[in-house]
Structure 1
Amino acid sequence: MAVPRVKLGSQGLEVSQQGLGCMGMSAFYGPPAPEQDMIDLIHHAVERGVTFLDTADMYGPHTNEVLVGKAIKGIREKVQLATKFANCIDEQGNFSVRGDPEYVRSACEASLKRLDVDCIDLYYQHRVDTKVPIEITVGAMKELVKEGKVKYLGLSEASASDIRRAHAVHPITAVQMEWSLWARDLEEDIVPTCRELGIGIVSYSPLGRGFFAGYKPHEASGDDFRKAHERFSGDNLEKNEKLRQRVFEIAERKKCSPNQLALAWVQHKGKDVVPIPGTTKRKNLDSNIDAVHVKLSDEEIAELEAAVPTEEIAGERYNASFMHTTWRYAQSPPLSSWNGSS
């Protein structure tokens, strides 16, 4: 069965109902996968109707954009390409966030070159720069739209207030947030704000960084960042394992796989929600795609949410060193504070 198409936001962008997060092919979840295998995987996804591809300049850094660019060579018109800027990693591995106009332009031009495309369909600010008012950053992004380098604008991990401020400068098409059975803190404020403004929601890590697909930290390679993640460590893992088993039991009764059940839960959050699960394996990709056709009743949704109550989830969704960049902590400064430099 084909993957349905949906409108993402109210500005005209149409994407596949499920996307493909490409990050793990190159970074953070272990050593990079063989390039040709990943190109073949992306081609398979597109053939099956998953045409919404997500990458970012920091993945690698840079190598994931190069990979995706190679994969879409010859099929550019079939895909909706999303990438991101703002997260910077220097040669020493130091992390910073930039949203100043000079950087916005240089980052976009570098991404276009690595992706080997003339235009990016959806361009996100990956994290909010606490030194630069979001109006300034989005103003620079708006110029890229005028120049035809970008079609639609997005934000990632932005607060409701920052979303409103950004949207007043240029319509925001999509906001990308972590949303899964164990990441639901956006539902109170951010989701209603997006819906009020006609902004689509892209769910990253919809499988809880693989947790609800059966990921086991002790089987991971040494450079998989999840090995040191709060939710996958020590007592937290033991507590969270109990939640996972509840989901697995519901999936068994539902006669679907746990990853399909977790994805179906996200998909049932609204027609304006598009999850972007990632994988490096064809069988997992096919299983994820089939989740599009898993239907849940209101009772089943309630049962799932009761099985993973937010107050029982052990550990933050990021470690402290990166949690400060997320929407609860990283707020844009007032426009009046801007003096033309970051």
Structure 2
Amino acid sequence: MMRTVKLGSQGLVVSAEGLGCMGMSITYGPSNEEENLATLHRAVELGITLFDTAEVYGPQLNEQLLGKAFAGGKRDHLILSTKIGFGIEDGKLNLENSSPVLDSSPEHLKKAIEGSLGRLATTHLDLVYLHRIDLNVPIEDSIGALSDLVKAGKIRYIGVSEASPETIRRAHAVHPLTAVQTEYSLFERGVETNEVLKTVRELGIGFVAYSPLGRGFLTGTMQNTDKLDPTDFRKLDPRLQGDNLEANLKLVAAIEKIAEAKNVKPSQLAIAWTMSQGAIPIPGTRRMKYLEENVAAADITLTDEELKALDEAAPVGAASGDRYPACMMSELTR
């Protein structure tokens, strides 16, 4: 069984690796519910306790999937984490000039929590993040609303996602944060230079790394986006286009050589690396085969020499291109 670790300093204990569930409902093309449910159940068997979802995934479909998977007492020892803060009405995401609308007003957040509780078929949520930082609402007001929900017993712990060091500090002053979630991998190491990692370590906040496999690119199995479903988000990923793709394939090839020398898969090496940095990775997959490969990464220990080699193969800033399309970049690290 997978070992457990403390996430932050507020008392939450989770599996050393979690499961990101977004791709079971959106982003990477159509999926099969039966396969998704089987993969979720297998994750529990393998010792994963941390399951990551969000209201906006679907919207709402992913929370419904997890509610179905863990109904009937299966949820009791699991850690369900969700994210809220987008404007959603009648199951549809509010858009303005083709961009998602954020809404972290206290009233909206409290209404969103009621919806998440119902879809996840639970009496409480273990960890709730502000999904993105809404600049129209003071962070103190948003965290204050979540703090009220902690006092009411509807949520246990609070986090923020894609927040700047200043925002993290302001939020933490209102109610101690348990986790900050941000993209982090050998493909994306920005949190090492923008002081996000430094800040969470100083404040005793846990760090959850989403996309630890670079949206699948670090598996070494993707040479281009030609065979992806037309609805797959990666069709628009700047790092998988044109000259950026060619440059980033060289980065992946360097990581593959290190993985081959250690007799592990590149994906396993990438996950083990995030753990070595003190993060809780939440790689996502729909397929049991890849789930089992990913879980095995939790048992990999990297030597100082291997860590140095990975630093040289994929240094900070090595990836070519932005990590999101231009319309989404402005919502990051606020």
Q: Given the two structures, how large is their TM-score scaled by the length of structure 1?
A: 0.92
State the Cα RMSD in Å: 1.2
Instruction: Give the residue type in structure 2 aligned to 1:313.
Output: A
Instruction: Give the residue type in structure 2 aligned to 1:167.
Output: H
CA distance, structure 1, for counterparts of residue 105 and residue 161 of structure 2: 16
Q: What's the offset of the Cα at 1:196?
A: 1.1
Aligned CA distance change for structure 1 residues 222 and 267 (closer, same or farther; 3 Å): same
Match of 1:20 in 2: 19
What are the superposed Cα offsets for residues 177-223 of structure 1, whole Å, 9 maximum, x if unpaired? 10100111111311111111110000000011111113522221000
What are the superposed Cα offsets for residues 233-269 of structure 1, whole Å, 9 maximum, x if unpaired? 1111011001111111111111000000000110100
CA distance, structure 1, for counterparts of residue 197 and residue 132 of structure 2: 18
Match of 2:155 in 1: 150
Give 3-state SS (helix, strand or coil) of 1:186's partner.
Answer: helix
**Cα contact 2:86–2:93 (8 A) shared by 1:** no
Which of residues 43, 56, 59 in structure 1 aligns to 2:57? 59
CA distance, structure 2, for counterparts of residue 179 and residue 68 of structure 1: 24
Give 3-state SS (helix, strand or coil) of 1:267's partner.
Answer: helix
Q: What's the offset of the Cα at 1:311?
A: 3.8
CA distance, structure 2, for counterparts of residue 308 and residue 109 of structure 1: 42
CA distance, structure 1, for counterparts of residue 65 and residue 160 of structure 2: 23
1:4 pairs with 2:9: no
Within-5 A mapping of 1:205-224: 205-216=211-222, 217-224=225-232
Within-5 A mapping of 1:277-292: 277-292=283-298
CA distance, structure 2, for counterparts of residue 205 and residue 215 of structure 1: 16
Match of 2:46 in 1: 48
Which of residues 190, 204, 211 in structure 1 aligns to 2:210? 204
Aligned CA distance change for structure 1 residues 139 and 92 (closer, same or farther; 3 Å): closer
Instruction: Give the residue type in structure 2 aligned to 1:57.
Output: E
Instruction: Give the residue type in structure 2 aligned to 1:100.
Output: S
Give 3-state SS (helix, strand or coil) of 1:176's partner.
Answer: strand
Structure 1's consecutive aligned runs of 4 or more residues displaced over 2 angstroms after TM superposition are 87-93, 309-312
Match of 1:245 in 2: 253
Q: What's the offset of the Cα at 1:76?
A: 0.9
Within-5 A mapping of 1:168-317: 168-188=173-193, 189-216=195-222, 217-270=225-278, 273-317=279-323
1:123 pairs with 2:128: yes
Aligned CA distance change for structure 1 residues 215 and 135 (closer, same or farther; 3 Å): farther
What are the superposed Cα offsets for residues 25-53 of structure 1, whole Å, 9 maximum, x if unpaired? 0001111x211221111110001101100
1:86 pairs with 2:53: no
Match of 1:334 in 2: none
CA distance, structure 2, for counterparts of residue 92 and residue 169 of structure 1: 29
1:99 pairs with 2:98: no
CA distance, structure 1, for counterparts of residue 170 and residue 121 of structure 2: 32
CA distance, structure 1, for counterparts of residue 317 and residue 328 of structure 2: 21
Which is further off, 208-217 or 312-321? 208-217
Q: Given the two structures, how large is their TM-score scaled by the length of structure 2?
A: 0.95
Q: Quote the sequence identity (%).
A: 48
CA distance, structure 2, for counterparts of residue 307 and residue 324 of structure 1: 29
What are the superposed Cα offsets for residues 42-96 of structure 1, whole Å, 9 maximum, x if unpaired? 1100011011000000001110000011111131112100001012356476211
CA distance, structure 2, for counterparts of residue 14 and residue 205 of structure 1: 21
Give 3-state SS (helix, strand or coil) of 2:178's partner.
Answer: strand
